Amino acid sequence: MSHLRVDLRQRAEELVALYPRPRSAMLPLLHLAQEQDGYVSPEGIAEVAELTGTTTADVRGTAAFYDMFHLEPVGTYVVGVCTNIACLLSGGLELLEHASSTLGCAVGSTSDDGLFTLEETECLADCNFAPCVQVNHRFVRTRSAETFDTLVAELRDGRRQHDIPTHGTLLRVRRAGGLHAPKREVTAQREEAKAAREKRAEETT
């Protein structure tokens, strides 16, 4: 019995098939599992281990390395406020403090209603809109305390679901197409091209 939903399980198997070795699908699969459960759950870890041919210790150890994977439940909206150098110079620390009081939770924790988790992030590469804020990894570009509060109100009312999906980095991205040529056809192409290239090289010298 698969822990992943039927559609996600199918996508997971597609992802594994993209790589020469199944373990390479580790990060995309962890994203999928996290998007279904809201965090990387023990069941999700077990399923990723099965899909990648690794152990749960391997999966957990890998997931723990990466900032985007949450090994315990987080809020519906993960709010990241950057305080790195460009944002620091534009009031990032002050905005983070403000966010903490608006959301009613300390940095690194989740609000009582389970709606928000607040994180202090490293540079999010959107420095012309510093200080930079992301919600579920969508750039929201609320640079002042006032616009931040407006955003939070909209999120509470569920008015931003169109552009800020809950837990979604990959869910809205689906691969279509692929290299359907049989492997030996591609190999033959390569051999032929290589022979032709060598012949050309010989002719020029």
Partner 1 sequence: MATLVAPRIVTARTGYDDSYTLARFLATGGYEGLRKALTMFPEDVALEVDEASLLGRGGAGFPAGRKWSMLRKSPVSYLVVNGDESEPATFKDHLLLERDPNGIVEGIIISAYALQVNQVFFFVRGEFALGLERVQHAVNDAYEHGALGSKIFGSDFSLDIVVHPGAGAYICGDETALLEALEGKRGFPRIKPPFFPAVSGLYGEPTVVNNVETMANIPWIVLNGGEAFAALGAGRSKGTRLFALAGRVKNPGVYEVEMVKNTFRDLIYDPALGGGLLDGHTIKAFIPGGVSAPWFGPDLLDTPLGQDEVGEKGSMLGSGSVVVFDDTTCVVRAAWRITKFFARESCGQCTPCREGSGWIERVLYRMEHGGGRVEDLALMLDLCDNIAPGGGWPPQQTTICPLGPSIPSSVTGAISMFRSEFIRHVEGGGCPFD
Among 36, 41, 76, 83, binds partner 1 (CB under 8 A): 83
183, 133 Cβ separation under 8 angstroms: no
Q: Of 21 and 112, which has the nearer Cβ to partner 1? A: 21
Interface with partner 1, residue 162, by CB under 8 A: no
Among 62, 110, 117, 142, binds partner 1 (CB under 8 A): 62
Interface with partner 1, residue 56, by CB under 8 A: no
Chain centre to alpha carbon of residue 47: 18
Interface with partner 1, residue 94, by CB under 8 A: no
Interface with partner 1, residue 192, by CB under 8 A: yes
CA distance 58 to 6: 24
Q: Of 43 and 120, which has the nearer Cβ to partner 1? A: 120
Interface with partner 1, residue 52, by CB under 8 A: yes
Amino acid, res. 55: T
CA distance 80 to 132: 8
Interface with partner 1, residue 160, by CB under 8 A: no
Q: Of 105 and 130, which has the nearer Cβ to partner 1? A: 130
Q: How far is the CB of 176 from partner 1 (least distance, A)?
A: 4
Among 157, 200, 202, 205, binds partner 1 (CB under 8 A): 200
Which residue has tokens 């051999």? 191
Interface with partner 1, residue 31, by CB under 8 A: yes
Residues 102-126 as b or e (16 or more Cβ within 10 Å = b): bbebeeebbbeeebbbbbbbeebeb
CA-only gyration radius of the chain, Å: 22
Binding site for partner 1 (CB under 8 A): 18-21, 23-28, 30-31, 52, 54, 61-62, 65-69, 83-86, 88-89, 121-128, 130, 134, 136-139, 168-170, 172-181, 185-186, 189-190, 192-194, 197, 200-201
